[in-house]
Amino acid sequence: MSISATQALEWEKQALAKVLIDQTPRFLIWEPVENVMVLPASNKWLATPQLTTHMAKLGWQIEQRKTGGSPVPQAPGVFNLSMVYPWPNEVEFSTTKSYQLLIDILELWLSNYGVSAETGEVKGAYCNGAFNLSINNKKFIGTAQKMRRTSAVNSNRKVGVLAHAFILINPKITNLVDAVNQCYRQSGHSEVFSREAMTSLTEHNGDANVNYNKLANDLHQSAQSVIDNYLAII
């Protein structure tokens, strides 16, 4: 489960290509072994030599990913769900519906620990969005996704979805927020994010820190269950 962010992002790339061929869902639960700032593939966020050098001095590597809209800090204590699954030809693709599947997975997983989360933006949180999950208006899960389709038409067209979530289990949140603020500042952006807008699962529920393997296994089972049920009823 503990792997480099580089390996995880390569898994996502290859898994998305494979699901267009074999239509088989795949899941990866991972925790980064290093500090990595993951930039979205956008002209707004360039991995310039200046940014790379600056972040390296602070102990952060730079990677890029073709999903999301803003930098995401990955570090030990951050769990990640990466998954790919086929989108049925019989159903028109819906960004809202595919995000809701991801939310359903996360809510099912959190129910194992008696945690009820809210969905929506949180003022002051980094990587903010409508499909955040928060507790008491403090963000602890962020989500993103990407859809890819083959060039075939009609019933021969295959659609695959890459969806992922970062989950703050017990990282050093102050370090994450500071790193994001440094990345923004060095990239010429004025936004500033607040530690008070973020929380972690163990801040809310200390029992969740007991067994990392159980957290990962429960998350995998929740993802498998929700996706299998969705594909079965189509």
Q: Which residue has the tokens 């990962």?
A: 216
What are the distances in angstroms from CA 145 to CA 82, 94, 99, 175?
9, 12, 8, 25
Per-residue pLDDT at 211: 81
Expressed in angstroms, the distance from the first to the final Cα of the chain is: 32
Beta bridge partners of 138: 135
Question: CB neighbours of 135 closer than 8 A, spacing ≥ 6?
Answer: 115, 117, 118, 199, 204
pLDDT along the chain (234 residues), means of 10: 93 96 96 96 92 98 89 97 94 93 98 94 96 97 93 77 96 98 97 97 75 92 96 76
Question: CB neighbours of 210 closer than 8 A, spacing ≥ 6?
Answer: none
Question: Which helix (DSSP H) or strand (DSSP E) does residue 153 occupy?
Answer: none
Residues 108 and 110: their CA atoms lie apart, in Å, by: 6
Question: Which helix (DSSP H) or strand (DSSP E) does residue 19 occupy?
Answer: helix 5-22
Per-residue pLDDT at 234: 56
Beta bridge partners of 40: 65
Question: Which helix (DSSP H) or strand (DSSP E) does residue 86 occupy?
Answer: strand 78-87
Residues 67 and 41: their CA atoms lie apart, in Å, by: 7
Per-residue pLDDT at 186: 97
The CATH code that applies to domain 2-233 is 3.30.930.10
Per-residue pLDDT at 155: 65
Per-residue pLDDT at 208: 63
pTM: 0.94
User: Domain spans of the chain?
Assistant: 2-233
Residues 111 and 216: their CA atoms lie apart, in Å, by: 14
What are the distances in angstroms from CA 132 to CA 120, 146, 198?
5, 16, 11
